[in-house]
A and B are shown apart, each in its own frame.
Chain A
Amino acid sequence: MSLDLFLNQVVPVRQKLFRFAYRLLGNEEDAQDITQDALMKVWSQQEKMPELQNMEAWCMRITRNLALDKIKSRKYRLADELDRAGEVPSAQHSPHTMAEKNDVMVKVRRIIHELPEKYRTIIQLRDMDGYSYQEIADILELDMNDVKVNLHRARKAVREKLQNIQVYGL
């Protein structure tokens, strides 16, 4: 792989890699490091490039593996996502409406956070990044049917908890 190819095809996806790493690690600096490491790893494995069908998925897979290794090797303490609840923008609404909205957002965040890692990742890749089933399967090294089944189960689990919020305010 020439440097031009790397600059044109790999470097532009680094934002996506960062986002993915950030969701897994919950820490901006570590996500930046993992993104850089992933780029270097892609470069070091450039001989595999001609065989790849989806390079972006491959880069995402490398990023995920690096992030998961980091979590495993250092007994990584995942930042409590609830800490970030206060960052929700607070314009246009009254303080009361805003507090109510924040409260709901905190609960939704918790619902997503409490999902098993595979469910959470699949939902994020599909609903936030807009990846196809095949791309998600490539990223997570799963069968496409497994992706569909897991996405269905994940959404079902989320829906049940959202209903609890709606009905009981839990």
Chain B
Amino acid sequence: MDYNHIIALLDRYWEGETTLEEEALLRRFFSEPHADMPEPLQEAAPLFGFFREEIEQEQALEERLPEPRLPAEASPARVVPLSPFRHWMKYAAVLLMAVGMGYAMKQHQRQETKVHIAEIRQQKEEEETRMAYLETKKALQLLAKNLNKGTEKMQKLAYFNEATGLITGTN
């Protein structure tokens, strides 16, 4: 067999200069056994053998490839009339949420009222405390004023007592 043509092709193959047809020719050549292959061809034989075996293995795997699931349009959806009560849980959930929100709002309002009352009560207490303080202050001021009034009289009384003592003592 004339291997020169194949060797020349192989050289061009390694250089990346072969066409698809030439590469197919090389694959065909290496797919058959050749007893007296020259060294340059022996070098490439395992590579082409590898390609062949990989392709065979992949073809075996491809046979196990399941049928594709096609897009939704492939099998037009059948329209099934649904009873309005079919999704009762949805309605129940919506109702429950509405009740829950109502309750929460009511609680919130109640809480606000309580806080408002407490604030008013606190203000009232503060006012009463302030008033009591002012009243006490006023009373104490009155007391202090009246206390000063009596001092002068007491002074006179003291002089009188002293004078009385002197008189009594001299007699």
Contact = CB atoms under 8 A, between A and B. Distances in A.
Interface of A: 3, 6-7, 11, 14-15, 18-19, 22-23, 28, 31-32, 35-36, 39-40, 43, 84, 87-89, 101, 104-105, 107-109, 112, 126-128, 130, 132, 148, 151-152, 155-156, 158-159, 162-163, 165-166
Contacts of B49: 101, 104-105, 108
A130 B21 CA distance: 9
Contacts of A15: 62, 65
Interface in B1-25: 13-16, 20, 23-24
12 contacts: A18-B62, A19-B62, A108-B46, A108-B49, A108-B50, A112-B50, A126-B23, A127-B51, A128-B54, A155-B14, A162-B46, A166-B43
Given A35-B65, A126-B23, A166-B43, A105 B53 contact: yes
Given A112-B50, A162-B44, A22 B23 contact: no
Contact of B47 (A28, A89, A162): A162
Contacts of B42: 166
B85 to A, nearest CB: 35
A89 B55 CA distance: 13
Given A88-B53, A128-B54, A36 B62 contact: no
B16 A11 contact: no
B87 interface: no
Contacts of A132: 20
B53 to A, nearest CB: 6
A84 B65 contact: no
A23 B71 CA distance: 26
B46 A32 contact: no
Most A CB within 10 A of own CB, among B27, B44, B54, B74: B54
A166 B40 CA distance: 10
A108 B43 contact: no
B66 interface: yes
The range of chain B's interface size is 20 to 34
B13 A3 contact: no
B10 to A, nearest CB: 10
Given A89-B53, A152-B16, 19 more contacts: A3-B71, A6-B71, A15-B62, A22-B58, A31-B61, A43-B71, A89-B56, A105-B49, A108-B47, A108-B49, A109-B50, A127-B23, A128-B54, A148-B16, A151-B16, A155-B15, A156-B14, A158-B47, A159-B43
B64 interface: yes
B68 A18 contact: no
Contacts of A127: 23, 27, 51
Given A3-B71, A87-B57, A130-B23, A14 B16 contact: no
Contacts of B57: 84, 87
Contacts of B58: 19, 22-23
B32 interface: no
Interface string B46-88: 1101110111111001101110111101100000000000000
Nearest to B27: A127
Contacts of A40: 69, 71
Contacts of A163: 43
